[in-house]
């Protein structure tokens, strides 16, 4: 999830804003879901319809998964 505003960001253990993770993944300094990167991609891909509400051209679940396979390895959590 692109972190384009503070309200989309997660929170650190001290309550400060985490600019590394979104509010759906990270709260109070802890990840809300555990699992492998592949499991997280499968979980996130269930929300492609919600993602498409913000896309100029809708994407398929498979295209969304490919995007995540490109992005997730660059995230601090998955390095």
Of 68, 72, 48, 50, nearest to 60 by C-alpha is 48
64-79: pLDDT as tens digits: 999 999 999 998 899 8
> What's the Cα-to-Cα distance from 52 to each of 32, 44, 56, 57, 59, rounded to whole Å?
23, 13, 8, 7, 7
Beta bridge partners of 18: 10
6-36: pLDDT as tens digits: 999 999 999 999 999 999 999 999 999 999 9
> What's the Cα-to-Cα distance from 18 to each of 26, 33, 52, rounded to whole Å?
8, 16, 25
pTM of the entire structure? 0.78
């Amino acid at each position: 999830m692109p972190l384009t505003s503070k309200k989309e960001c997660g929170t650190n253990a001290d309550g400060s804003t985490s600019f590394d993770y979104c509010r759906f993944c990270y709260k109070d300094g802890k990840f809300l879901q555990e699992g492998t990167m592949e499991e997280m991609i499968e979980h996130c891909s269930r929300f492609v319809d919600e993602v498409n509400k913000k896309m100029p051209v809708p994407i398929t679940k498979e295209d969304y998964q490919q995007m995540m396979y490109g992005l997730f390895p660059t995230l601090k959590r998955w390095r």
